[in-house]
Each structure stands twice: as structure tokens, then as C-alpha cells.
Copies of this chain bind each other. A is one copy, B any other.
């Protein structure tokens, strides 16, 4: 149903790899090796993440990338924003939207609420959780995933 781009998926994998040892910096080539992705692609992903402020970089020989913050302070929503852009679930949201039928359509508002709800859910998920580093990580399948929307 809903889809995120491959780039975002790659970003998650790369970040998860970095999260294993948050203190250490790693070169793009090393990350490419660990994640089994091609070097140019990992490089592109990291460039985006750096511009977004999720990772910090050091140039020159012995350079590399590291997490800008501890894994529990990086959320899925932040990762999504990097490559998916600020686009909302529907075209008709926010300023400058050229929907054309906004007048006779009351649907827009409801979708935006759904959108906001999803966003909040994504903000509750941290990189630490995505990377499976949480204490309860191994029992992940047993935990109850409870999600609820009130008053859409």
C-alpha cells in the first residue's frame, strides 16, 4: 500500500549499521561492505543524511561518517524526511497546492489528519528500535503493537 523509496530503506540500513557503535566513525566504503550495498549508493545516501544533519562527516584521509546524535534521539520520521521530502500523503495539503477542487471537497482535512497521525507514530519510533538494539529487541515479535486513532 503505502510505499517508501529504496533510498530511505538504504538510509535505515546504513544508520542501523552506524548505530552499532555510535562513538566510532566509519568510512563510506566500510559501510558499503557491511551493508552489501554498492559504494556509490551508500555514498549518496550518506551525503543526504549529512545535509539533513543526521550524521556528521570528517573529510580527508581517515575521514568518515558518524551519528550526529545517540540512536535514541533519531526517529523514523526524521529519516523519512530526508529522502521522501516534505510531501504529504495527498497532494492537497499545505500551501501552494493546486488541487482545483478544494472548494467542494471536504475530504482533504480528513486525510491530513490521517497523515498527521501516521507522522506521530513514526516520531515514536527511534533508530535504536529500528536497529534492534533495544533491551527487548529479541522479543520483538511478542510485544503488542497498539495503535489507535481517535476522532479522525
Contacts and interface: CB of A to CB of B under 8 A. Distances in A.
B3 A87 contact: yes
Interface string A74-96: 00110011001111111110000
Interface in A103-134: 104-107, 109-111, 113-122, 124-125, 129-132
A98 interface: no
A13 B90 CA distance: 12
Q: How many copies of the shown chain assemble into the complex? A: 2
Q: How large is the interface on A (under 10, 10 to 19, 20 to 34, 35 or more residues)?
A: 35 or more
A143 B147 contact: no
Interface stretch (A22-30, A33-41, A53-61, A64-72): A33-41
A80 B114 CA distance: 12
Interface string A135-152: 011001101111111111
Given A2-B2, A80-B2, A149 B121 contact: yes
Q: Which 8 A-B pairs have the closest CB atoms?
A: A143-B151, A106-B132, A117-B147, A1-B84, A36-B101, A110-B130, A1-B80, A146-B150
Interface of A: 1-4, 6, 9, 12-13, 16, 34-37, 76-77, 80-81, 84-92, 100-101, 104-107, 109-111, 113-122, 124-125, 129-132, 136-137, 140-141, 143-152
